[in-house]
Amino acid sequence: MSPIALQADRDVSGVERPPANQSGSPGVVSFGTRHEVLQRGLPWLLLSSGLVLGLVDHEFTRRFAVAPFMVSLLLFGMPHGAMDWVVNNRLQGLRSLPRQLQGFLGYLGWMAVSVILLVFAPFVTIAAFMALTILHFGLADLYATRNDGSSLGFRIAFIASRGLLVLGPAFAFHTAEAWYPFGLLIGTPVLEASSVAAISTVSWIGTILGLGTATVLAGIRMRSDSTRRGTLDLVESLLVFGMVAATSPLFGVGLFFVSTHAFRHSIRLSTTPEVGGEPEVRHVLLGLWRMHMRSMPLLVPTFAIIVVWSLIQFGDLSATHLTVVTIGFFIISTLPHHLLGLRLPVPSRRARPTG
């Protein structure tokens, strides 16, 4: 839900950051420390674990490639998306079920459009989904790493570089394997050699651009603002790149999705008062629990759709086929999910919590 990340001077909770001359106050230091631990702690731990695992036993990540996506069905991943029902209702002030259903028709309409495009123009739709995913992943990390107060050029470059460092290495290092779940979804699991070569070339260009841009941006941050933050951003970018490059593509992208992207989006939703969150960092665990519980009205029918889809298309409920169908569901739901995020209001100025 981070699309309002392009707006300056706000952190992940939607609370405005104080001016630089307030940065020495005890409350701000306390909050800043907690913010760093919260936003970088779990993602870095899991990304590092994935990197080591990929380097030590790459075959393990291939055998259990779908594991991160299976976890994401219940933890952070699908639940944060299923919060869209609650978010939409709260933003529009809808209380009765008929009004809520009516207010959700626009969201369902975009899903219907995506379904039609996936059926009749699958390759174009998948390519568009990749581009949207780069934007969506990059925006979330821009916001979570508190780079949203930078210049417009810096923000655009950061978004592009982070998104490219997730998808680029997956398709650059393991092109045919990365394509396989998408191909299985649309009935073309194996591409011609020329198509594989073209995708590989584009992916390598994107990966190199992502690495180069991330390095330049970190250098700019170190010189003009904060050496510490610039260093953290660079380490994180290299960690993302290394983990995705070292693991099988489905495992690497899935691990980033659940450990970093979905986790950070979940933090945002659970700390934003406008959608029922609690802005104080000390309540984050309770907030995450509440977010998962509030997602149930949309999460349950989503599970039903995935199960029925898998049975109709593949005739079984294997982990591989459920993952492929889950990716298909993301293809048709990411656009309305992203557009709904753009409607999140700019929070009014609040006192920074010290908890």
In this prediction, residue 272 carries a pLDDT of 82
CA–CA distance, 16 with 36 (Å, rounded to integer): 16
In this prediction, residue 341 carries a pLDDT of 83
In this prediction, residue 132 carries a pLDDT of 97
Which segments in the chain show pLDDT lower than 70?
A: 1-33, 35, 281-282, 344-355
In this prediction, residue 146 carries a pLDDT of 83
Residue 43's H or E segment, with its range, is helix 26-56
| Prediction pTM value | 0.87
- 24-54 pLDDT per residue, tens: 333 333 445 676 788 899 999 999 999 999 9
CA–CA distance, 276 with 20 (Å, rounded to integer): 29
In this prediction, residue 88 carries a pLDDT of 95
CA–CA distance, 215 with 252 (Å, rounded to integer): 21
Q: 133 with 163: CB under 8 angstroms?
A: yes
Tallying the residues shown for the chain, one arrives at 355
Q: In the chain, what is the straight-line distance between the N-terminal and C-terminal CA atoms, in Å? A: 24
Query: Taking the C-alpha atoms of 42, 43, 49 and 53 in order, what is their torsion angle to the nearest 10 degrees?
Result: 150
Tokens coding 168? 């680029």
In this prediction, residue 332 carries a pLDDT of 97
